[in-house]
Amino acid sequence: MKEETAQAIIEGLKEAGVNFVVYMPDSFFYDVITKVKEDHGFTSISVPNESVGMCLCAGAWLGGKKPVMIMENTGLFVASNAITRFHQPFGIPVLMLISYRGDAGDGWWMVTAIGHAFEPALKSLGITYELVDNPENAKRAIQLLQTSAEVSEELQAVVFRKEGQW
């Protein structure tokens, strides 16, 4: 990822008021995560799985933070128990930044099935999402969806396409 791309994502998070970052280490977001860890404006923590991560974000929101969960799309399926049993019935808003494995052009055979299942899963879980493919619209989507999350008290996801200008 280019320096300016990582910087745009960080700026988007800051301008949206996000101050609590939970991440499942992911190669696409490596540079963003590195910047987050170095920035004292964020409380950050890595998690061993996305279900724990989403619950951590929920607790942080209840405590007054503005959380974001950074993860690969595979983790949506890991987190689906927490999403359907906690975030949705309680109405807990969390912004998610998700890298899109199995997207058009992804050359790894193992993620093809994830690619098929991912967007239908987002829809069936009631998660509003925006597909982004360059730093400028990623930054804008982060700001817009954070506002939507707060107002709707629902989950919102910015989905980073595989073949974007990153």
Q: Is 62 in the site for other proteins (CB under 8 A)?
A: yes
Binding part of the chain for other proteins, among 17-25, 117-125, 129-137, 156-164 by CB under 8 A, reads: 17-25
Q: Which residues from 125-164 bind other proteins, rule CB under 8 A?
A: 143, 146-147, 150-151, 153
List 158's β-bridge partners, or say none. Answer: 97, 130
Distance CA 38, CA 92 (A): 28
- Does residue 105 belong to the site contacting other proteins (CB under 8 A)? no
Query: With binding defined as CB under 8 A, does residue 77 bind other proteins?
Result: no
91 binds other proteins (CB under 8 A): yes
152's CB contacts (< 8 A; 6+ apart) are 93, 128
Residue 37 has a CB neighbour count (10 Å cut-off) of 14
Q: How far apart are CA 2 and CA 58, in angstroms?
A: 31
Residue 136 or 153 with smaller CB distance to other proteins: 153
Segment near other proteins (CB under 8 A); pick from 4-12, 44-52, 98-106, 116-124: 44-52
Among the residue ranges 1-9, 40-48, 108-116, 156-164, the one whose residues contact other proteins (CB under 8 A): 40-48
Taking residue 86's Cβ as centre, other Cβ atoms within 10 Å add up to: 16
> Is the Cβ–Cβ distance between 141 and 158 less than 8 Å?
yes
Residue written as token pair 């987190």: 79
Residue closer to other proteins by CB (options 42, 166) is 42
- Name the nearest CA neighbour of 73 among 108, 107, 26: 26
Q: Provide the binding-site residues for other proteins, judged by CB under 8 A.
A: 15-17, 20, 22, 43, 45-49, 51-53, 55-67, 81-82, 85-86, 89-92, 143, 146-147, 150-151, 153
